Homo-oligomer: A and B are copies of this chain.
Amino acid sequence: MEDEHIIKKTALARKLGAFVDLSGAELSVLEGLHKQRRTFVAGCDLVRQGQSGQSAYILLSGWACAYKTLVSGQRQIVNFQIPGDFLGLRSVLLKLSDHSVEPVSDIEVTEVLLTDLLTAFTQTPRLATAIFWAVSRDEAMIVEHLVDIGRRNAAERMAHFLLELGARLSLVGMGSKEGYACPLSQYMLADALGLSSIHINRVLRQLREAGMVTFRNGFVAFQDYDQLVEFAEFDPVYLDQTRPLLPLQAAGKVHRTHGLASRPSIWRAHSN
């Protein structure tokens, strides 16, 4: 149990460690943020859209997702959280939470209080910076998700999504270039990617038959990682993981995008 505790702590610390090396003192302040430990069952919301006074959590084990529902009953999954991620952080400052958070599998979390967070910021500036970085990175992932849905077709979208998850999981030691365990159903993928579950199924088959990636029995297996990266135009800069966590051969190629934004805007005009 104590041993397990140490392992859990590593997820967030390891993630933040990718940004700054944290001292022992900073690590113990980080540890101090973890208050009450709680468990939630899959499908039972932690945070509810439209309610006030929600609290934030740090995810220790399992997967969760943030989503919004429309009056029509449709829902859109905004992002998925894996161990080491914050849950519901945005909703603590809004009078009413703008979204819900639901465990995908059974999860363990620790509650984190806004006041503790604010005092920690004044005490340990480097930790504060690291947490700001984590929040910015979360936002960058939502933005990339927006690009996914707005400008990529179903297959590219799926490919990009699976690659991003792989990269994130690798950072906390839960995945590799080979693949990872993934508890998501095709219905969840549909709600996340803005597609119908039927089309999700077809797209997965398409990627499998193309020999790029297989998603079956709760496991994502990359068959041709590099081809998939090229197909999805996956450029992990927005994940801000300096040293390529997956030792990519294609590292040089992957970064070809960087100069692109400095093209004169003529290049973009009237593109659609």
Where the two chains meet, the residues of A that have a C-beta atom closer than 8 Å to any C-beta of B are 43, 45, 48-51, 68-76, 78, 90-91, 93-96, 98-100, 102, 118, 121-122, 125, 128-129, 132-133, 136-137, 139-140, 142-147, 149-152, 187, 190-191, 193-194, 196-197, 233, 237-238, 240, 242, 256-263, 265, 267-272
A233 in contact with B94 (CB, 8 Å):
no
- A50, B98: Cβ atoms closer than 8 Å: no
Residues of B near A262 (CB, < 8 A) are: 45, 48, 51
Indicate whether A146 sits within 8 Å of B149 (C-beta atoms), given known contacts A96-B237, A237-B98, A268-B69: yes
Copies in the complex: 2
Closest partner residue, chain B, to A194 (CB atom): B150
**Interface contact B76-A146, CB-CB below 8 Å:** yes
- A69 to B258 alpha-carbon distance, docked (Å): 10
Q: A73-B271, A143-B78, A146-B142 given as contacts; is B136 within 8 A of A93 (CB)?
A: yes
- Residue of A72, A75, A129, A242 ringed by the most chain B CB atoms within 10 A: A75
Q: Which 8 A-B pairs have the closest CB atoms?
A: A150-B194, A50-B258, A49-B261, A98-B238, A93-B136, A76-B150, A76-B147, A98-B140
A167 to chain B, nearest CB (A): 14
Q: Is the CB of A50 within 8 A of B194?
A: no
Residues B71 and A256 in contact, CB atoms below 8 Å apart: yes
Pick the residue among B121, B140, B257 that contacts A50 (CB under 8 A).
B257
In the assembled complex, 28 residue pairs joining A and B whose CB atoms fall closer than 8 Å, in A order, are A45-B262, A48-B262, A50-B261, A68-B143, A69-B260, A70-B147, A70-B151, A71-B233, A72-B233, A73-B267, A76-B150, A76-B151, A78-B143, A78-B147, A93-B129, A94-B137, A94-B240, A95-B240, A102-B265, A139-B142, A142-B143, A145-B146, A146-B146, A149-B150, A150-B194, A187-B270, A187-B272, A190-B272
CB of B71 within 8 A of CB of A257, answer yes
Query: Could you tell me the distance between the alpha carbons of A17 and B129 in the complex, rounded to whole angstroms?
Result: 26
Residue of B nearest to A49 (CB): B261
**Once the chains are docked, how many angstroms separate the CA of A78 from the CA of B145?**
10
A109 to chain B, nearest CB (A): 19
